[in-house]
Amino acid sequence: MSPIIVLKYGGSSVANTEQLRAVARQVIRTKAQGEDPVVVVSAMGDTTDRFLKMVCEITDRPRARELDMLLSVGERISIALLALAINAEGPYEAVSLTGSQVGIITDTNHTQAKILEVRCARIHQVLQKGQIPIVAGFQGVSVEKEITTLGRGGSDTTAVALAAALGAVQCRVMKDVEGVYTADPRQVPQAHVIDRLDYDQMLEFAATGSKVLAADAVALARQHNVEIAVGLAATGAVGSIITSGDFTGGGVRGLVALRRLSALRLHRPADLARVLADLYQEGVQIRGLHSEVHRPVLLIDEIRPPLEDLITQAEWGARLRRYRRPFARVSAIGSHLDPGGKHFARLLALLEEHGARPLWFCCSPSRVSFCVPDGDVQKLLGRLHQGLIERASRN
């Protein structure tokens, strides 16, 4: 039996029919090389965002069940078109399958469902016929037989879950970037692709704002020891491998900056539980929770009009301080970054040389995060990359 490879293509990789045909040719080449590809596809381009915009034009309180019914359609369009493209190209036959058809069983939490079980009988039947299964990412069916979706990044999770259940030799996530970079190359031109990372480091990249892989997918891969390869969809070339093992003797391997964050300081610590509950209800993601002079400080994404209304109307809104300037949270990710160690000391020295005055440190052996004014982050990233990553690679 041929080794099974799970191939996952994101929405930007299948945004039009030309790209779909290019992906079809890649899948066919994989099959011709003696591997059995199982393909997971996201919705085309910005389909999900367009659906959500339409929902907002209808109601500001959509029922979660109906959202799942709507949003799951995008992936069904993608899998059908990709299957048609493979069948038209030949010589292999492709079969499109929804999450429920391949047995992705989830809990009952609409729009943020968790996978409970993957039943692979249908996929094995397709593979035994020599066909190529094209699976809809991001979706499943609940234990109550309702259509569910897995939240942002859910197609990554689908791909890893299938790779684990099928015993695939690798899960290849094909994107519009070559791999995991040492920093965002749009902000740091000297950034380069990291060839190998361990699961813990990749989890830190995902948790601090990198969009290369979803954190849930990486955690699942670590749990089942699924090797993930990240590569460029346009060429099929793999740039980064995420697997078990220690690939560095210590130091910083990458920098992630989360830009334009708003900081809210609560006057009364007793307000914290109520504020967190209200923000969660509104779908506001908490980017950081810190303390300043014994008062809680929340970091959230840039405040938009709906959140402005919540803060104005909430009983606790009059008792918080909003910092006027936006912040950026910079995270240095690697290993042996414990406070007091040489790598942490080097980071502090570079911050001092740059004249940076960081706030709200958060430290662990694999990550150091801190906040600086958003306007300072561009030059700071370049200096840190040069002093922590480029210098280490030359030594």
CATH number of 251-394: 3.30.2130.10
**CA-based radius of gyration for the chain:** 22
Question: How far apart are the C-alpha atoms of 339 and 180, rounded to whole Å?
Answer: 26
> Where do you find CATH 3.40.1160.10 in the chain?
4-243
What number is the average pLDDT over the span 379-384? 92
- Burial letters 256-290, b for 16+ CB under 10 A, else e: bbbbebbbbbbeeeebeeebeebbeeeebeebbeb
With cut-offs at 50, 70 and 90, classify the pLDDT of residue 393: low
CATH number of 4-243: 3.40.1160.10
pLDDT tens digits, one per residue of 2-43: 899 999 999 999 999 999 999 999 999 999 999 999 999 999
Q: Out of 58-62, 77-81, 305-309, which region has the weakest mean confidence (pLDDT)?
A: 305-309
CA count, 13 A, side-chain hemisphere, 230: 24
pTM of the model: 0.89
Q: In what order do the strands lie in the sheet with 139-142?
A: 115-118, 104-106, 139-142, 147-149
Q: Out of 109-123, 277-291, 338-352, which region has the weakest mean confidence (pLDDT)?
A: 277-291
With cut-offs at 50, 70 and 90, classify the pLDDT of residue 80: very high
Q: Out of 138-147, 279-288, 376-385, which region has the weakest mean confidence (pLDDT)?
A: 279-288
pLDDT tens digits, one per residue of 152-173: 889 999 999 999 999 999 999 9
- The residue to which tokens 């994101």 are assigned: 10
- Written as six digits, the tokens of 344 are 């942490």
CA count, 13 A, side-chain hemisphere, 195: 3
Strands 104-106 and 115-118: antiparallel
> Where do you find CATH 3.30.2130.10 in the chain?
251-394
Q: What is the pLDDT of residue 248?
A: 67
Instruction: Judge residue 236's burial from the number of C-beta atoms within 10 Å of its C-beta, 0-12 exposed, 13-18 middle, 19 or more buried.
Output: middle
pLDDT tens digits, one per residue of 286-333: 888 888 878 888 888 877 777 777 888 888 888 888 888 889 999 999
Interhelix angle 47-58/64-89, nearest 10 degrees = 150
Q: What's the one-letter identity of residue 350?
A: L
The phi, psi pair for 168, rounded to 5°, reads: -65, 150
Let me know: does 181 contact 193? Beta carbons within 8 Å. yes
Residue 59 has pLDDT above 80, yes or no: yes
